[in-house]
């Protein structure tokens, strides 16, 4: 198959530019590398050639294939050297004025058929193309680092981008072995937009004193199935990358509450606690290994009190069966005896609110998160309220740890941890579909490939139930009075009439 673009120029040879050059050469294009920093393009070419050589040594590719890749990787010394390229991809500093100046100069050098593309992760394609005489030839072509391994690429149309340009870039992405997703020109495009809730909601939980970084990471890994907790992830990406993106998307959406950043990351960024690369972030690192605090031990309790379960508890029958399996003495009366541990399992509400509304003794009331089927999780999460007695807290912890499954005990929180993070993720994803930023199918593809979530956010909402997610959001908005938890119309309407969240009107 003939390659879509025979001659490709790459401007900027950092990790992203180098990665794009690698897969372009491997796809069969002649690639010219250009960098304003003296010697940078040469170093990039040497690094790629060395990498292909190692693949030969490992038997991953043969020597002839590696030689072909190397022969297609050339150096350029000036922008004029890119004049005959069919496609030029920019991967330079994230500054609008610098990108605009670069493309304006390129436009004066290249023929009419040349496609101009930016690998920007946060700037408007429309704004970058605004000074051009022919903005229809410009599009976003946003890869993720490391480019050869992250198999998704966002193809972004500015307001004046020709549909044929996006179609050509999508075809070329497939030739590179990547999966293209189509996005409208909005802040964060798809992946960085959809990924807002995971970090910002976790930061909000910490800021309320509900749990520490390690506990939240453990809960979201073990209970919801994420590969990395949000604080592990921010340490990996580094705060000098992730915090500016938080601020950029928040301000570009004119202070939309759903994307509100946190003072916690701003302070740590100012203090140089960026993550793995500085040896200290939310965790400390020794020789690259994370130094996570030990998990609190299960309390030793001489005798577990009888347990009474609220009739309003979510998954009540499953909770009663779990208690039976754990050997609990279960009370079945309309109200609890004076010595009983009182269990509630709300969606979205905090334990304090439930205790007050249901007229329970707050000193003996403990909550358990039952959004997800207990059999599908590797951890149970309990929550106390400010009045919960220590003996009742410890008894609940010991009881639910009887079968060896880890238990996290957190302070009172509307929506515990998993409920509020999952609901925020699903809600933002639904609003991306409501705004028409991309199709539900492309959203699911982009998030699973670009963020590594256990499933797409719409599939997540369908699995845990759109009506349950709606209930979490409505109740959290009641508890916190914050517009960040208002449900998207996409979620509210589909949840109300029983449609899958991935359903799209014809």
Q: What are the catalytic residues?
A: 121, 142, 154, 192
- The full length of the chain comes to 506
Under a CB-based contact definition with an 8 Å cutoff, are residues 244 and 197 in contact? no
Strand, coil or helix: 74: strand
333 CB neighbour count, 10 Å cutoff: 8
DSSP 384-439: --TT--HHHHHHHHHHHTTTS--EEEE---TTTTHHHHHHHHHHHHHHHHHTTSS-
Strand, coil or helix: 326: coil
Under a CB-based contact definition with an 8 Å cutoff, are residues 119 and 43 in contact? no
Question: How far apart (Å, rounded) are the C-alpha atoms in residues 8 and 24?
Answer: 8
Question: How far apart (Å, rounded) are the C-alpha atoms in residues 329 and 308?
Answer: 9
Strand, coil or helix: 162: coil
Under a CB-based contact definition with an 8 Å cutoff, are residues 410 and 440 in contact? no
Q: Which of 456, 379, 391 shows the shortest CA–CA distance to 214?
A: 379
């Amino acid at each position: 198959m003939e390659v879509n673009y025979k001659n490709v120029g790459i401007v900027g040879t950092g990790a992203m530019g180098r990665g794009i050059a690698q897969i372009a050469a491997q796809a069969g294009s002649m690639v010219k590398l250009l960098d304003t920093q003296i010697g940078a393009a040469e170093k990039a070419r040497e690094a790629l050639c060395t990498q292909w050589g190692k693949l030969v040594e490992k038997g991953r590719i043969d020597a002839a294939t590696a030689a072909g890749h190397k022969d297609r990787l050339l150096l350029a010394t000036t922008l004029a050297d890119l004049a005959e390229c069919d496609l030029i991809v920019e991967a330079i500093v994230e500054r609008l004025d610098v990108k605009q100046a670069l493309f304006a100069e390129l436009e004066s050098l290249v023929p009419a058929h040349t496609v101009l593309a930016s690998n920007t992760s946060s700037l408007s394609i429309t704004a970058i193309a605004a000074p051009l005489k022919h903005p229809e030839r410009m599009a976003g072509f946003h890869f993720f680092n490391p480019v050869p391994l992250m198999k998704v690429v966002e193809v972004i149309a500015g307001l004046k981008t020709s549909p044929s340009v996006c179609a050509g870039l999508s075809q070329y992405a497939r030739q590179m072995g990547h999966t293209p997703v189509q996005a409208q020109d909005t802040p964060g495009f798809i992946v960085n937009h959809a990924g807002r809730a995971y970090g910002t909601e976790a930061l909000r939980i910490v800021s309320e004193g509900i749990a520490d970084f390690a506990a939240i990471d453990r809960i979201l890994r073990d209970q919801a199935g994420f590969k990395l907790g949000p604080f592990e992830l921010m340490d990996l990406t580094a705060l000098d990358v992730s915090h500016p993106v938080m601020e950029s998307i928040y301000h570009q959406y004119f202070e939309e509450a759903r994307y509100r950043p946190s003072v916690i990351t701003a302070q740590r960024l100012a203090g140089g606690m960026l993550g793995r690369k500085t040896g200290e972030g939310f965790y400390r690192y020794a020789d690259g290994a994370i130094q996570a605090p030990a998990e609190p031990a299960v309390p030793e309790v001489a005798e577990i009190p009888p347990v009474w379960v609220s009739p309003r508890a979510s998954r009540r029958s499953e909770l009663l069966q779990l208690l039976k399996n754990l050997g609990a003495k279960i009370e079945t009366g309309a109200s609890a005896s004076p010595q009983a541990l009182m269990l509630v399992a709300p969606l979205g509400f905090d334990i304090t609110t439930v205790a007050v509304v249901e007229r329970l003794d707050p000193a003996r009331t403990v909550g358990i998160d039952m959004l997800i089927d207990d059999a599908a999780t590797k951890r149970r999460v309990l929550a106390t309220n400010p009045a919960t007695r220590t003996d009742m807290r410890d008894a609940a912890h010991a009881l639910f740890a009887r079968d060896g499954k880890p238990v996290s005990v957190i302070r009172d929180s509307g929506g515990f941890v998993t409920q509020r993070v999952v609901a925020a993720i699903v809600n933002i994803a639904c609003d991306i579909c409501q705004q028409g930023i991309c199709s539900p199918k492309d959203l699911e593809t982009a998030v699973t490939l670009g963020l590594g979530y256990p499933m797409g956010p719409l599939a997540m909402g369908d699995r845990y139930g759109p009506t349950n997610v709606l209930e979490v959001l409505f109740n959290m908005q009641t508890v916190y009075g914050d517009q960040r938890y208002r449900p998207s119309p996409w979620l509210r309407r589909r949840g109300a009439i029983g449609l899958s969240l991935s359903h799209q009107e014809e």
